[in-house]
Amino acid sequence: GVGQDSMMLCHNDNPEPTPAPPPFPVTWTQSAAVWRSAQWVRTGCKENPNPIVAHMSTADTARDMDLIRRALGEPRLNYYGASYGTYLGATYASMFPDRVRRMVLDGVVDPVAWATGATGEAATLPVTTRVRGAEGAYTGLVAALRECDRLGRRQCAFAGNAPGKWRQLLARAKAGGLQVNERRMTYPALVQSTLGMMYEDDYSLLAQSLQAIWVENFRRVDRVDPRLVQALDRASRRVDEQPYAAPSATRGPVTETVDAFHGVACADSRNPRERIDWWRAGQAQDKQYPWFGSLWTWRSATCGNWPIVTKEDTWFRPFGGRTSGPILVVGNTYDPATPIHGARAVVRRFDRARLLTYAGWGHTAIGNSCVTAAFDTFFASGVMPAPGAVCRMDGPLFSGG
């Protein structure tokens, strides 16, 4: 349901609610607009569904994977999964533990958090709250702003009290006065674009963009380079359309829609039913993890009262156990979507899993020379990195001002 051959697309014959809602609500009134938009999508999926919509659980995909393995005559499966793909890997390993040869999970979703959360959590906490993306994004940005000031303007364009300038941008955006080339930039748009740029492992473009916006608004000189504006827009769309995709998966032609994300996530997970639950969860997250709490919480608003029945096919049984082959689990210390908590949770749940820590930023670690070498060695020979192994970034977080 996510590829071009049978992509899930929901069609609602009624006009889409206007005006378009913000990426996430800042006020209770705005939450009504976001909820109406989510209901419009839900109605479209229920009344005009693509037939694939009832078969989009990750467990269905895991069963398909096993059929492919069997058709190829392979006794066991090699698998690399990144971001959401780690949930697919954990599901396959839980459903078919004796059919795993070697598995790598990179940028890891805690499978229990995704499916149900701890006992009783699903009644009040949405799936995108439980996965703790807000925690990863907040801690990652705070650390990145400190690193920016440490490196200085030669390497980081936003240096010179970067945390203070970030707070200035937020305050002006909340007040409704943040301008980008004479176009108003809202608080949700600023936060969402920032998050989208944090998926990369080099934050130079993020620093240049924030500095250009800050200069336009607080020095009243220059306009923001249109190329930076385009980069901000692309980053925002990434969070809307593919929040659980590795950066490399978002650079080519679009192979997924926001409908497809909802089709999978809502089939897989149990969630609250009422708007008030999303509002309360987002507000509580904002207190713990400012800026990103409501953003991540409301990513899954469409899953409230999801009308497509797929639960018989969905895997809610225990995740983990002993697999026939080893599992290499890679977690970034500052991943803005799938924090390292998810990697540690998977290692605890699978007896033959081992953690490789990537001490860096960005979403997923593939492409880093140390991590890639570990992947290659593991798939070629089955040799794991040493317990407690840590890979470092290939270069600085900010490569130029």
For the stretch 240-269, pLDDT in tens is 877 878 776 554 443 345 677 888 999 999
Least confident of 10-19, 272-281, 300-309: 10-19
Average pLDDT value over all residues in the chain: 91
Share of the chain above pLDDT 70, in %: 93
Checking if the pLDDT of 37 tops 60, the result is: yes
Contact present, 181 and 222 (Cβ < 8 Å): no
* Per-domain residue ranges of the chain: 71-115+313-392, 135-241
Rounded to the nearest 10°, the torsion over CA 167, 168, 171, 175 is -170
Checking if the pLDDT of 48 tops 80, the result is: no
Q: pLDDT at position 338, please?
A: 97
d(CA 280, CA 46): 27
> Which CATH homologous superfamily contains domain 71-115+313-392?
Alpha/Beta hydrolase fold, catalytic domain (3.40.50.1820)
Residues 92-102, mean pLDDT to the nearest whole number:
98
Amino acid at position 398, single letter: F
Residues with Cβ within 8 Å of residue 154, at least 6 apart in sequence: 400, 401
For the stretch 175-219, pLDDT in tens is 999 999 888 999 999 999 999 999 999 999 999 999 999 999 998
pLDDT band at 16 (very low <50, low <70, confident <90, very high): confident
**pTM score, two decimals?**
0.92
| Residue 81 β-bridge partners | 105
* Selected residue with higher pLDDT from 323 and 264: 323
Please give the distance of CA 38 from its chain centroid, rounded to a whole number: 19
